[in-house]
A and B are shown apart, each in its own frame.
Chain A
Amino acid sequence: MSGRGLRSPASAAASLVVPLVLVALAAAVGASGTPSFEETVTLILCNLIIVLGLQIFIGNSGVYSFGQLGFAASGAYVAALLTLPATFTALQTPELPKLIADAQLGPLLSTLIAAVASGLLAGVVGWPLMRTSTLAIPISTFAFLIVAYNVLANWDPVTGGSSGLVSIPRTTDVMAAGLWAGVAVVVALAFKWSASGYRLQATREDEVAARSIGIGLMRERLTAFTISGVLCGIGGALAVHQSGVLSPTTFYFAASVTTITMLVVGGARSVLGAVVGTVAVATVNELLRNFEEGSSVLGLISIGATPGLAAIGLGLILLVTMVALPEGLSGGREAGELEPIRRRLRSRALSRSPAAAATDRARPRSARGSAGSLRAEGVSLAFSGLHVLRGVELELPPGEALGLIGPNGAGKTTLVNVLSGFQAPDSGSVFLDGVEVTSWSPARLARAGLGRTFQAALPFAGLTVVESVAVGAMGVGVGQREAVDLAVNVLERLGLGEQAQHPAGLQPPGNQRLLGIARALATGPRYLLLDEPAAGLNDEECRELVAILREVIQDFGCGILLIEHDMNVVMDLCSRVQVLDDGETVMVGTPEEVQAHPAVVEAYLGTSYATGAHA
């Protein structure tokens, strides 16, 4: 089995069964169902397309948008206006531009144009919205929904105002809906498994770690937002050509809640979840609607008419899901990832493609032996009145291991944060191979060859081991196939090859730290900053870690800066050690020099130990 994709062909095939099933079911219903059943199924399929649109953005980014139905509305209106005969548009929308008013396009063409229009709208709206913070996006997209509603409801001469449009040709049949739904599923899966999709998922798993491997938050979110807009537009266009009527409230708050409920109940993170959720919730909805007119249970208890019962029921289902089953019915897994299939596939290790095997020692971008270094000059940083760093200097050439030690609160992690762009110093500069990079963002630095790990492992828990390493390469622009080869290479070096298809979140702590290192290595760094990689490791594991890091320096040629408290690791690996205390450099020297130096001993243990009064 080649390592060209991130999943085995069998697993991918299993997931792609879903769209085929959808199309087949649609055909079956079309052939044998009653007209009303056919209508119901058609509407469910149109809903599904919208929910898939939601899944593409919400599921992959982990950020909720409450405005996607604004794009369904735009798609619906564009498609409706394009298919309404000229006589009708003259009556309902007198000020509509003649070109559109006279147009009477067929269903396919109008749907395609609606898709493009919605996509453009999503791109335009998304560009400012995706630049706002993660918490502001739900709010600003909610505002967009209300603005869209407001415009549609008040622009009478063009949109028909709050009474909406009628007599729209009813051209969507169950087969058309089924085919479009199948296409939508494929699009959603293709996006999720693309490099762009993986980068976006990384931001969902851990925003900080994602930035450290070169991923641009805004760009990835905007991409998904736009594609989501396209799908929602298609769903809206198809739906309106099934019902024949359209008003601003069709795709407004109630529909937003319903579609979000469908997504959440099914499990937002997977496409299968979107499908399962839509079907489940729609079914429950229909059942409850039947009760709304009033009925009797088992002919014994009679329930009076309760309009709104369905909506209340859905609200309760959403609430219970959030509290009791946050991952939804699918648990965030695709069809090919369900437990029985997974168990059978797990035993097969992921092997590299032959081409990669030939260039075994190949690594993408580290250039061994070239001049340059990572340099900090006079870096100072104060925080709430406390001086955390005072005029610190540091130099790390490629191919060397520099240890950074010091007591708690000395400023070691802060220094690494400054070097990697996560914190800006009050004064001083950072130079990467001669270029001043003090103000660069972490993502930009990653793309320029600086990688780092964090004190907490920050794993991409929802991705598999190989996915979370491959996304490191994808973050710096490597294509998916090459990224996978690279990832497998790195994993095997670190002894994690067997774990490739396992979820990263379930790895034991020692492996998770190694994964963090692997992920940083996948970005092809010239300089690697490791923050306490040995924390929580036992003696045996520490020795292995030192061996691995030595190999990494040898093969990848990168310079490693190592914050560590475990002296054994530092002494074994580093050729030089820099000691920080209270924000200042106490000394820089070889491990032996540092270990014996009284100032260092004093910094850790206090004066009496340094002067040898004890032991």
Chain B
Amino acid sequence: MLEQMTDLAQSLIDALALGGLYALIAIGVALIYTVMGMMNFAQGEFVMLPAYALYVLAGLPFALAVGAALATGIAIAVLAERVAFRPVRNADLAAQLVTSLAVATILQNVVSAAVDARSQSVATPEVLSESSQIGAVSIPNLEILTLALTVIVLGGLGWLLYRTRIGLEMRAAAENFEMARLLGVRANRVIAIAFAISGALAATVGVLIVMQTGQVSPTMGLTPVLVGFIAVVIGGFGRIFGAVIGGLVLGVLSSLLGTYLPDGLVPFRDAIVFSLPVAILIVRPQGLLGAATGEARI
């Protein structure tokens, strides 16, 4: 009995950790959507490039490499916005989506050409592959880190959005961009900062994925961006909090399926996880929390 409880507890913690990771991804996608109205296909590359920074800087002390990875994420996000997305800022949704697809392809293939198309191994600090004993449960350190980061990020984002000037500007812009501009809020600045934060979040996710899998590959961003999109959609378009819920649900579901699916179906776990949101959308087209129309989007 105790063993079953322990197993269950461990499964739940595993699930929460993955849920936290997916929530982090989802926030990055949702932030850009609420402020700019754009679903960013290149978000996966904002995850991938910082991960490659870790690979390239493998010789350096790990903390330094992580710092570089964060900087990479922020830089690439802000650069992409300035160069590729600003010209299509007023174009329709489809145009913006395809533009971000173009950016994603370019970045993927640049890395492929510069490094290699195949995945590469990255050495990560030993401590992260170990586990800590908490009571009767043994939790991988990485999961503790992920959970801690999720909480910190959510807290930090809440602080930023609700206690700082720039957060105030972003919330106002998310509700009514035009009116915010009439009050002197600089459109370019707000959008650039949204992208910068999004890039930092994506970099965090990239680093966490590397620490878990020990690998990088040019196409590693595909699953995260799909997760982010689906989380935003099932959480209800335009709500950051909804994206968090969406990410948690997807992560928890994915993890639990991985643990409890019968052996024969395990390879199809991803297929099942990504099919279920569609079911949600059919029953409730506006998402779990409902789309944000005139209601709080953040």
Contact = CB atoms under 8 A, between A and B. Distances in A.
Nearest to A128: B282
Given A132-B281, A136-B233, A319-B102, A154 B267 contact: yes
Contacts of A308: 109-110, 112-113, 117
A63 B94 contact: yes
Contacts of B271: 147, 150-151, 154
Interface in B238-275: 267-268, 270-271, 274-275
A323 B39 contact: no
A132 B283 CA distance: 10
A599 interface: no
Interface string B4-21: 000000000000000000
Given A147-B274, A315-B109, A319-B106, A138 B226 contact: no
Contacts of A318: 98, 101-102, 105
Interface string B82-108: 001001100101110111011101101
Nearest to A256: B101
Nearest to A63: B94
A309 interface: yes
Contact of B270 (A64, A128, A146): A146
Given A138-B97, A154-B267, A322-B99, A143 B226 contact: yes
A143 B229 CA distance: 9
Contact of A319 (B84, B219, B233): B84
Given A62-B94, A150-B268, A135 B39 contact: yes
Contacts of B282: 128, 131-132
Chain B, interface SS category: helix
Interface in A80-116: none
A358 B223 CA distance: 63
A288 to B, nearest CB: 11
Interface in A46-66: 62-64
B294 interface: yes
Given A154-B268, A257-B101, A308-B113, A143 B106 contact: no
B99 A323 contact: yes
A34 B168 CA distance: 66
A312 B111 CA distance: 10
A129 B277 CA distance: 11
B278 interface: yes
Given A154-B267, A319-B99, A322-B95, A139 B113 contact: no
Interface residues of A, number: 42
Nearest to B37: A135
Contact of B278 (A128, A138, A257, A261): A128
Contacts of A326: 91, 95
A64 B102 contact: no
Interface in A259-276: 260-261, 264
- Chain A CB count within 10 A is highest, among B88, B94, B103, for B94
A315 B103 CA distance: 7
- Chain B CB count within 10 A is highest, among A143, A150, A260, A316, for A143
A422 to B, nearest CB: 15
Nearest to B219: A253
A347 interface: no
A143 B278 contact: yes
Given A308-B112, A312-B113, 18 more contacts: A62-B94, A64-B97, A128-B279, A132-B278, A135-B93, A135-B237, A136-B233, A136-B285, A138-B94, A143-B230, A146-B270, A147-B275, A151-B268, A306-B113, A307-B112, A312-B110, A315-B106, A322-B88
Interface of B: 39, 84, 87-88, 91, 93-95, 97-99, 101-103, 105-106, 108-110, 112-113, 117, 219, 222-223, 226, 229-230, 233, 237, 267-268, 270-271, 274-275, 277-279, 281-282, 285, 294
18 contacts: A128-B281, A131-B285, A132-B281, A132-B282, A132-B285, A138-B94, A138-B97, A142-B226, A143-B229, A150-B270, A150-B274, A155-B267, A253-B219, A260-B98, A260-B101, A314-B105, A323-B88, A323-B99
Interface of A: 62-64, 128-129, 131-136, 138-140, 142-143, 146-147, 150-151, 154-155, 253, 257, 260-261, 264, 306-309, 311-312, 314-316, 318-319, 322-323, 326, 384
